[in-house]
Structures are given as C-alpha cells and as structure tokens.
Amino acid sequence: MAALLNRDGPRSEQLRRTALRGPAGHGAWFTAAAFGSEVGAPWFEPRYWISRGAVVGKYGGRGTALVFEHRGQRYVLRHYRRGGLAAFFSHDDYLWLGESRARPVAELRVLLELHAAGLPVPAPVAARYLRSGATYRADLITLQLPGTYSLAARLDQGELSLAGWQAVGRCIRRFHDHGLCHADLNAHNILLRNDEEVFLVDFDRARRRRPGLWRDANLARLRRSLDALDDTRRSRRCGAAEWQCLLAAWL
C-alpha cells in the first residue's frame, strides 16, 4: 500500500513510500515523485535485470553497483555494503535505528535536496530497506550520469589539465557553500565528463552542517585519496602544483 512520506524528510509530494512484506523480511521502498509508480519491488533485485538481459555495466567499490537499462534510460542500482572493520562481522547488515535513520532513506533525501538545488549529482530514483530482526539491508537507485568517469580512472590514463583541477575545486566549493559535508570525498566519488564537468556521487552519511573545519577535513580526505593513488605510480598525477590549483579554485 502506497503512502506519501510527510515527515522527517522532503515535502510529501517529493517522495512516495510503499510498504514491503515477504519471506526476505519486511520494510519499504521510497520513490522520487518524478518516477511516479513506474518503480516496483523487482527493480531492487539484480537477478531481475540479469534475467531480462538489461544489465549493461558495473561499477566497482565496496559493493559492485549494477547499471541496467529500462526504456532507453540507464540506472545505477547500488547495494549498501560495509567497509572497514565492520565488514569482518557483516558485509551488508546495518543496525536498525528506525526508518528515518535508515541509510538509503537518508541518502535519497539528501539527493533530492541537492538535485532540486541544481547541484551536480545523479538524479535520485528510489531507495529500499529490508528489515530482519534488529538489522536491515539496503539499496539505492539513481539515474546514470552518461559519459562520466571517476577522477581515479581519469588519472590512471594520464595527467589531468590544470583547468580540470580547477573545475574539481569549484565543484567541491559549491557543495561546501550549500553546507553539504560529504562523508567520503575521494577520487572515486568525483566524476568527470570531458575533464572539466564535475559531479559528486555517494552521499551515504552525508549531511548539512554549518561552516567549519569539516570542510578542511573533506579536502584532507581527498588529498589522502589522491596520494594513495600516486603511491602506486612511477610519476605523480597530483603534485603540489595540481593540488594548489584545486585549492585556489575552491577558495
């Protein structure tokens, strides 16, 4: 039974809630209003798209994200997986703390807000959680950003121009001016198109904050990510000049 979400998030006309109950657990999925009633429960199951021959790609990371095509549009289905020490205990189970604190619901709300504000993010489509006792599992669907590649993948191909580094700095500053603290700003979560059009992805645990030192912490995290990539190369792709170019554009 569908109902419009009217608390703890976007306005009621922005998000539709549908309850779920079945052998795999009970929970709900939430659909952005722009996609109406088109999204159904099977959309969150990789085997559904595989059986239809609709899978057209995958993205790496902690949990592989599936790219599928439906009616000429490409979507990204991401299953939430744990990282760090928590992954030794469970690779995709999260402690249930209430629907409003479920990670896919929170991320979908953040994406709705950012997308409505005109920030360069993938369009949000839907999110799902499935409870089993005191834990839950989760998935998120967004539109694919066509023609994009991660900053990490781009640097694997060679140096990025200074104009490209400036574009990255300006993009990050737009999010910081909006008060958005990205929980995992790294070279894999920054996407480029034609080297100078920049997007951010993966807003799990992201939140709005007042201006503060968290912005410097975001940049420091990105710097560590770039250094880790360069540690595997013979020559640096993000040296002092490139980093200063990014910072100058951010300022």
Residue 93 CA to its chain's centroid (Å)? 18
Is 184 one of the annotated active-site residues of the chain? yes
Sequence-distant (≥ 6) Cβ neighbours of residue 45 within 8 angstroms:
none
What's the longest Cα–Cα distance across the chain? 57
71 is written with which tokens? 């009616």
Question: Which secondary structure element, helix H or strand E, spans residue 188, and what is its range?
Answer: none
Which of 92, 93, 177, 184 is an active site residue? Answer: 184
Are 168 and 247 in contact, with CB atoms under 8 Å apart? no
**Cα–Cα distance between 245 and 166 in angstroms, integer?**
6
The C-alpha atoms of residue 87 and residue 72 are separated, in whole angstroms, by 36
Q: Which residues are catalytic?
A: 184
